Structure 1
């Protein structure tokens, strides 16, 4: 047995850093966390054996700073670096810099990362090894090849993955605009705007194979994961195994994945991703290889009984695999849900804020990988994924039910998440039957969103307001004139009502139920004969994975604000983030729908367009401005009013 490392630096943050630290602790290896100013009190910092500040909040000056990371490793005596996923995990230059500094990079060689990180070279390499690839082409022929193949086509950055910069083009009339946008996002995410274009396969399935290779020539696969449930090319639900594959197809795809790994001299844990026509699983095509640990690795861990982070460490320390392909057994079914800071009711825009109340599911067959604590600040600076809820059961129907129940137990008040949406998605008939594809979520997202705010939520919010007005007894006695019970001299008590407003909706006036039960952490109300119980934190209410922020509404202040900003003429920030592009100035004439600004948050761009033709009469931001949700960005006065 090779000598295991004494100290490992985890060059990442959030739930993956916490996850890696957990295995390091189990192996008796000292863990070093790194943190930016924004993460000084983060969970991964608290759980590591030691932690080092590496820079300001901006990722470019902290988590992406190779000199800062290497200096932290030197100062703490680390012998190896685990990159997690995201940030520098698939950065060949970082892997090479670690080697040059005498550190073991816990992952493949810099050469393998560079080869498989370049999607163009990767396709050529695996194709030469006999692995089928998706038809397509690359720069400088992206536009030409797209027009030759005809729509639909998929634009992809050559230098990175995770859905960043990917664009599905169904109308070639907007091809040039989509190429420009894809390049901009690719440059921002990976520092390289090289693109490739591939034929789009309608109603495809996304199947990936987990591989594990050591430095002694042994390569095995650990079965497949189904990752077809996606939004904006980002996976949101993953499971292992897949209902699509039979044993013969599983073996063939596994063998192809092993050959892809061998073709680049791969060492460590990696994932080979395939696109599969749902109608004919035997016609699978190589898409890319992720040269790192995947977000969804827990589902493979649960059905194989292997700790992939432990095997990453063992392989990196020089140990050979102690099992062969025939030893790999798949037991039961595992499903994972990615919990992201986003608001489904507002078009899944990134959210943020302070975690005021946190309750994460656990129990038999339930696992939560999380980077959160109560009091955690969720900003727009980093990736929106907060945690993952994973379940393991004897079969798929049981696993789906168990995950829905686990998501109902998840509470993250203060930061809107997609947990409730995912819970409803898991009950979708096509998900239950296994007949999903990568377009299902986009097609049916609207049907999985509740219409407005349920009456019982407003009733609970009003009950909270009433309770907040109720005075505490002084010396065992309460002045009856201080009790908010609607009592009137010589008349029937008038129900106490409160003007309330939920984000993005019109205000309502709601009577507070007299029989509601309100505590510091919960509310129970009865509406139309049905009793409803919510968790609460201040003005936040949560139930079954959903949460609502129901605020007091001040009609006078709202009227004054509307008068000043012209109501519909006002352009507000749809999410907390950073203004990256400003295309206009005060006094400019604009047309309806014209792009005026771009706001970026959590690696996602949102274009702010003119609501109508007119003149820009107010502009309150510049490139680089940090903005809060609903902050006023600009005002466009209608053309006829501007001319008056």
Structure 2
């Protein structure tokens, strides 16, 4: 067994791997970029080594710097986690050449399964059914377009070297095919350094089922059951569970054996996942009817690494997959066989990401001001967060994973919904509230899942109203803020905002509260003679009565943040005495300059300013000042957290101003360009 292992990753997976290393008595080495100098994974490791500047290319993706750190700290093995270099065959070979054990599959297996085109050909030869699609590697744009036309829309463009949904593009209209191929190549090149694409038939309303496999270096290969991964958004998994309600015992055994054959076909070793797609009954809209299925499932790809969703398999099998990765890499033989693998109970995982559902799920960021992550009683949270953590746009937006386990699916669902409601990540907008509502959707509760469910139901899952409880809480805190400061000296009783008046009932104190996008709400607060607090909200005939006084006096900044059902709401005092809040985000009054905003608007009267929808980097600029553009024309591309966002012209006009170039780093809402309409409208 190894004495020291270097973890070549960051965030929650680095923390999770270090936890197992500690349980095995193995010294852990963390690595970090300048952006992560005070990160949680750095602090929980036994030792840590700086790799370089914040950009991943100069830190977490630098094989030379990682191997140098391993040599300096006396490590005998490297665990790559997932993402970054986890499926990089050259890195696996470099580890071997440096005398480091790579805690993952052989380099040849990574190379083979990392090339989706070769992988499909290999498993097909082993008798595993595959999704119909293009054949051959290195296809040109024209060849990809020809293959798409031959297959018939809808089709799916996929990076041959990629995974995790990065660079995948669904094309339902051949008129958009050229633009989608170009965008898919850009994302693939940025994410994986390889823009080779393939095209596959898109299967509408399918289920995404994956099989966990485990293999040692002594010829033993077995599977650990399946995971249901059909709840996805933009081809990214957001909820995973094990086992799947779809499979019966015979189908589970059949898919498990197919996964084992796929692993054997590439000489696999360690933990890996074989992903299958289970066709639905729907004929593609406007496309070619599918051929009669040759199987009830098709091979999609194999992920030659640990999966994000591995905890659900651990909870129903009782196995620590990271431990077995380490043991296999150290040369040990699996101590159990296929008959020994028993699936007990049910587990469900939710991915908490730094994104704002109210802004179209654009990446968010900020400083974690307050943090609570539930643990125990069937709930597990894998996280890389700490209070004070700065969440930027350089890395993947996933912050943590909340996993619930129960004797049955209904219990696991209830526990996970409750855990998400308790999860607190104030200061950074997340999707926790959205995930909680998704888990309560009738189709999800019934287990009637498919990969398009989230996209179809997304509008109803994003909260569009501020709960009355939050207005009440904001009013109470505002009332407390009006109270005179406590001290040792005399306090003027007439300065107290308790509604007292001579010879009558206490008066109501009105508090006018406003949230962007919503009508102002007035909440009235007063203290009763018996010391209770009453609140009267719009539409209420009788006031709400509290059992005690107003909350303690808040800080001088007059910014109050509340969490309800996994969604953060922040209210902040404006200079005019009104209140401003934002669902899922923190609004800092001192950063808001209404005068400057008004001047900016006046400067571009009659024009349309295009602003950055998220903090990130401008990667593509397709126009110049003076260019004529049409409505909907793609003008710029902003990338953040490995996601592209296309900025399009809101109307036909002329580019009057262009404030960015490729490589420019931009803040959220920063002006990128101004489009003057062809026809000026005056009032």
Classify the TM-score, shorter chain: over 0.9
Alpha carbons 2:355, 2:364 under 8 Å: kept? yes
The answer as to 2:3 corresponding to 1:6 is: yes
C-alpha separation in 2, matches of 1:625 and 1:441:
33
Partner of 2:64: 67
Alignment of 1:39-188 (within 5 A): 39-138=36-135, 139-140=139-140, 141-188=143-190
2:566 aligned residue (522, 540, 545):
545
When residues 370 and 200 of structure 1 are mapped into structure 2, their CA distance, relative to the original with a 3 A threshold, is: same
Alpha carbons 1:500, 1:551 under 8 Å: kept? no
C-alpha separation in 2, matches of 1:483 and 1:570:
46
Alignment of 1:210-359 (within 5 A): 210-278=212-280, 283-359=296-372
C-alpha separation in 1, matches of 2:296 and 2:127:
14
C-alpha separation in 2, matches of 1:62 and 1:337:
28
Alpha carbons 2:476, 2:551 under 8 Å: kept? no
The answer as to 2:630 corresponding to 1:583 is: no
2:134 counterpart SS class: strand
Q: CA deviation at 1:175?
A: 1.1
1:137 counterpart SS class: coil
Partner deviation per Cα, 1:17-59 (whole Å, 9 max, x = no partner): 0000000000000000000000011000000000011011111
Question: Which deviates more from structure 2 when the two are superposed, residues 467-476 or residues 425-434?
Answer: 467-476
Alignment of 1:442-591 (within 5 A): 442-480=455-493, 482-484=495-497, 495-498=509-512, 500-502=514-516, 505=517, 508=520, 510-511=522-523, 513-514=525-526, 527=537, 528=540, 538-553=559-574, 557=595, 558-566=597-605, 569-591=608-630
1:623 counterpart SS class: coil
Alpha carbons 2:656, 2:675 under 8 Å: kept? yes
Partner deviation per Cα, 1:462-493 (whole Å, 9 max, x = no partner): 44344334331232532345445689999996
Question: Which deviates more from structure 2 when the two are superposed, residues 316-325 or residues 549-558?
Answer: 549-558
C-alpha separation in 1, matches of 2:515 and 2:663:
31
Q: CA deviation at 1:627?
A: 1.8
**TM-score, structure 1 length as denominator?**
0.93
C-alpha separation in 1, matches of 2:104 and 2:334:
15
Alpha carbons 1:466, 1:512 under 8 Å: kept? no
C-alpha separation in 2, matches of 1:451 and 1:30:
49
Question: Which deviates more from structure 2 when the two are superposed, residues 569-578 or residues 371-380?
Answer: 569-578
Partner of 2:393: 380
Instruction: Return 5+ residue gaps in structure 2 as ranges.
Output: 282-292, 577-593
Partner of 1:618: 657
Q: CA deviation at 1:530?
A: 6.5
Partner deviation per Cα, 1:219-261 (whole Å, 9 max, x = no partner): 0100000000000000000000000000000000000000000
Question: Which deviates more from structure 2 when the two are superposed, residues 610-619 or residues 164-173?
Answer: 610-619
C-alpha separation in 2, matches of 1:620 and 1:512:
46
1:16 counterpart SS class: helix
Question: Which deviates more from structure 2 when the two are superposed, residues 342-351 or residues 481-490?
Answer: 481-490
Partner of 1:22: 19
C-alpha separation in 2, matches of 1:526 and 1:260:
65
**TM-score, structure 2 length as denominator?**
0.88
Q: CA deviation at 1:110?
A: 0.7
Alignment of 1:593-632 (within 5 A): 593-632=632-671
Question: Which deviates more from structure 2 when the two are superposed, residues 15-24 or residues 618-627?
Answer: 618-627
When residues 206 and 466 of structure 1 are mapped into structure 2, their CA distance, relative to the original with a 3 A threshold, is: same
Alpha carbons 2:507, 2:526 under 8 Å: kept? no
CA RMSD, 1 decimal:
2.8
C-alpha separation in 2, matches of 1:635 and 1:490:
62
Partner of 1:634: 673
When residues 137 and 65 of structure 1 are mapped into structure 2, their CA distance, relative to the original with a 3 A threshold, is: same
Which contiguous aligned blocks of 4+ residues in structure 1 show a shift greater than 6 angstroms? 486-492, 523-526, 530-537
C-alpha separation in 2, matches of 1:493 and 1:213:
74
Partner of 1:194: 196
Q: Work out the number of aligned pairs and report it.
A: 633
Alpha carbons 2:526, 2:535 under 8 Å: kept? no
1:136 counterpart SS class: coil
Partner deviation per Cα, 1:51-80 (whole Å, 9 max, x = no partner): 011011111111001111111111111100
C-alpha separation in 2, matches of 1:554 and 1:244:
57
Q: CA deviation at 1:412?
A: 0.8
C-alpha separation in 1, matches of 2:29 and 2:499:
59
C-alpha separation in 2, matches of 1:534 and 1:204:
51
Question: Which deviates more from structure 2 when the two are superposed, residues 581-590 or residues 304-313?
Answer: 581-590
Alpha carbons 2:8, 2:31 under 8 Å: kept? yes
C-alpha separation in 2, matches of 1:643 and 1:470:
49
When residues 278 and 399 of structure 1 are mapped into structure 2, their CA distance, relative to the original with a 3 A threshold, is: farther
Q: CA deviation at 1:568?
A: 7.3
Alpha carbons 2:115, 2:160 under 8 Å: kept? yes
Q: CA deviation at 1:596?
A: 2.1
Q: CA deviation at 1:512?
A: 5.8
Q: CA deviation at 1:630?
A: 1.8
Question: Which deviates more from structure 2 when the two are superposed, residues 132-141 or residues 361-370?
Answer: 132-141
Partner deviation per Cα, 1:134-169 (whole Å, 9 max, x = no partner): 110142432111101111111100001100000111
C-alpha separation in 2, matches of 1:266 and 1:389:
30
Instruction: Return 5+ residue gaps in structure 1 as ranges.
Output: 517-522
C-alpha separation in 2, matches of 1:242 and 1:463:
46
C-alpha separation in 1, matches of 2:574 and 2:634:
32
Q: CA deviation at 1:281?
A: 11
C-alpha separation in 2, matches of 1:603 and 1:100:
31
